[in-house]
Amino acid sequence: MKKVFDYIIVGAGSAGCVLANRLSANPQHRVLLLETGGSDKSIFIQMPTALSIPMNTDKYAWQFHTEPEPYLDNRVMHCPRGKVLGGSSSINGMVYVRGHAKDFDEWQQHGAQGWDYQACLPYFKRAESWYLGEDSYRGSEGPLGTNNGNEMANPLYRAFIEAGVQAGYARTDDYNGEQQEGFGPMHMTVKDGRRCSASRAYLDPVKGRDNLTIVTGALAHKVLLDGKRAVGVEYQCKGKTHRATAERRVILSAGPIGSPHLLQLSGIGDQDALKAAGVEVQHHLPGVGKNLQDHLEFYFQYRCKQPITLNGKLDWFSKGLIGARWILNKTGLGATNHFESCAFIRSKEGVEWPDLQYHFLPAAIRYDGKSAFDGHGFQVHIGHNKPKSRGEVTIKSADPTQAPKIQFNYLAHQDDIEGFRACVRLTREIIEQPAFDAYRDGEIQPGKDVQSDEEIDAFVRQAVESAYHPSCSCKMGEDDMAVVDSNTQVHGIDGLNVVDSSIFPTIPNGNLNAPTIMVAEKAADIILGQPALKANNAQVAIHSQWQAVQRSTEI
C-alpha cells in the first residue's frame, strides 16, 4: 500500500466521510481514510426502524462506559460510539436537528471566530437535500437526504403537536428554519426509505476515486510528530503496525472520545495526565479531554386507550411483515425512525432560546427494543439541552487498546437539576391537554406519586440516560483551555487538525449529527484554503417577550 499521502483522516464517521469526499475532489490530493470498523451494509444499519440494534452491537459500536457518575447515584452510563463506516451516523437515531441559531453565535462568543450562525448556515444548506425543496434555510442539492419519514401517519404525532398548542406554545413548521421554538414535525436523515448516513451520503459516491485510499480494520495508535509538526499516523491493521506519512495534514475525526484520547496517546495533552499514564509528553495542552458535555433525557410514558401504537408491532410476525415490506420497496414502518413529531421550548422565562427538546414516539419502549409493560403506550423523550455540567476524557494507559476514563459529571450544576424539574412538570401539563383525551390512559413513568422537587430529583437520577451526544472535549477557541483554533488546527502543533463534534465550544440545543457534518463541510474549505461560502443573513425568530414569559402561541 502507498505510504505517503497529502492528507490522512483518522475516523470515517460523520465528519471523516465529509472530509474524505471534499479533500479528494481534487485528483492531485492523495487522501488516506482510516477506520477501525468495517462495512455499513448490514440490513440493521440500513433499515431505519432497526436503529436500536447497531448501537448495541459490538461489531458496529465502541461500547464505552463512564466511571460511576457521582450526581446520578454513582450509576455507570453507557456511551456507545460508531465503529463502522459512517461512524455514529450509522448507529444513531437519524434525527436531523441543526440546533438554534444562537447556539452558533455562542460559539463565536467563546472564541470560535467565523463560526456564528450566519457563517454556518451556508454549510448546513450545502450538505442537505431537503425533500420539500430549497428556501432561505434549507438546501436541496446536497448529499444528505432529509425528510419526515411517514408524514406523521399515526394520529398520536399530531395529537402531541396539538397538545402543545393547547398548552400555550407556538407551532413551528420547520424547527431547522426560521423558528426552532414550538411544536411541529421532526426531520430525519432517511432517503428513499434507507438510513442516509455520512458514509452513504459522502463516501459511497467517491469510493472509486484513484486518489482516495480507504483502510478499514485500522486502529490508530498515535500521531507521528517531528518536533512540533504532525507528519503521519501509526496504526495497526491485520495484526501489523503501519506508518503512513502526511505531507500536508493529519486530521483527527475520531469523535469526542476518540480524538482527545488519540491526542493524549500521541503525547499531546495535560502533562500530569500523560505522565500518570506513562506517555512521554510531546506538547503540554491542558484542555485536551476537558469541557466534555452531553445531553441527558428520560422517557415520559403513558398507557394508550387505543391499540394504535408500535407496542402492537413487537411480535416476530409483525416485525417480519414490516421487514418484508421494507426489503421489497423501502416503505412502511421499516422506513422511519418513528420520531416524527417534536418540540423545542424554553424551561422558564428569562431563557432566550429553547433549552428543552422533545422527541415524540408512538410507543412505550426502551432503546434496546424492550417494552416497559404489557399493552399499548406512547412516550416523549425529554431533556434539558443546555447543561452547565462539565466532564473529562482522560487517558488511562499508553496502550491504545485500553479505553480512556470517561466522566461527564452529569447534573453537577444546580441549573441542570432545575432544568429537569421543569421537564417533568411542563411535560405532564402538555400531555394532560384535551388533544390526548382520546388516547391517554394513565401515567406509567415517572408516576403520579412523583411530585415534589425531592421526588423529581430522585426519579431523574435513576431514570435519565445519555441521549448519546458527547461533545466539546477538544474545544475550539483561543483561551487557555482551547485545543484547536478557529481554523481547527491544534494549538502549538503544525499540520494537525481536529474536525468532529469534540471541537464544539458548547453543545447545541439538539442532536449532533447535523452540526458535525456542517463543521466538516466548513473545515474542508478552511483546510483546502478555499474562500468561505458567503454568509447567509436569513433571520431567525426569538420570542419577543422571552425575558418575561415562558411560553406563548405567538413568537
Task: Report the C-alpha dihedral over residues 301, 304, 310, 313, rounded to 10 degrees.
Answer: 130
Q: How far apart are CA 510 and CA 225, in angstroms?
A: 37
What distances in angstroms separate CA 65 from CA 68, 69, 257, 276, 458, one per listed residue?
9, 10, 11, 21, 22
Q: How far apart are CA 177 and CA 132, in angstroms?
A: 12
Residue-by-residue DSSP string for 206-252: GTT-TTEEEEESEEEEEEEEETTEEEEEEEEETTEEEEEEEEEEEEE
Q: How far apart are CA 504 and CA 80, in angstroms?
A: 19
Residue-by-residue DSSP string for 63-119: EEEPSPBTTTTTBPPEEEEE-BTTGGGGTS--B-----HHHHHHHHHTT-TT-SHHH
What distances in angstroms separate CA 166 from CA 22, 84, 152, 430, 542, one per listed residue?
46, 44, 19, 8, 21
Q: Which of 244, 254, 246 is nearest to 230 (CA)?
A: 246
- Residue 481 φ/ψ, nearest 5 degrees: -100, 5
With cell 482516495, the residue in question is: 212
Of the residues 295, 338, 469, 543, which is catalytic?
Answer: 469
Three-state secondary structure of 381-428: EEEECCCCCCEEEECCCCCCCCCCEEECCCCCCHHHHHHHHHHHHHHH
With cell 470515517, the residue in question is: 12
Count how many Cα atoms sit within 13 Å of the Cα of residue 430 in the half-sphere of its side chain: 31
Q: How far apart are CA 463 and CA 457, in angstroms?
A: 10
Quote the crossing angle between the two packed helices 101-109 and 117-127, to the nearest 10°. Answer: 130
> 469 an active-site residue?
yes
Query: Do the Cβ atoms of 101 and 540 come closer than 8 Å?
Result: yes
The C-alpha cell that represents 319 in the structure block: 416485525
Quote the crossing angle between the two packed helices 453-463 and 414-431, to the nearest 10°. Answer: 100
Count how many Cα atoms sit within 13 Å of the Cα of residue 326 in the half-sphere of its side chain: 25
Classify the phi-psi angles of 71: left when phi > 0, otherwise alpha if psi is within -120 to 50, otherwise beta.
Answer: alpha
Active-site residues: which are they?
469
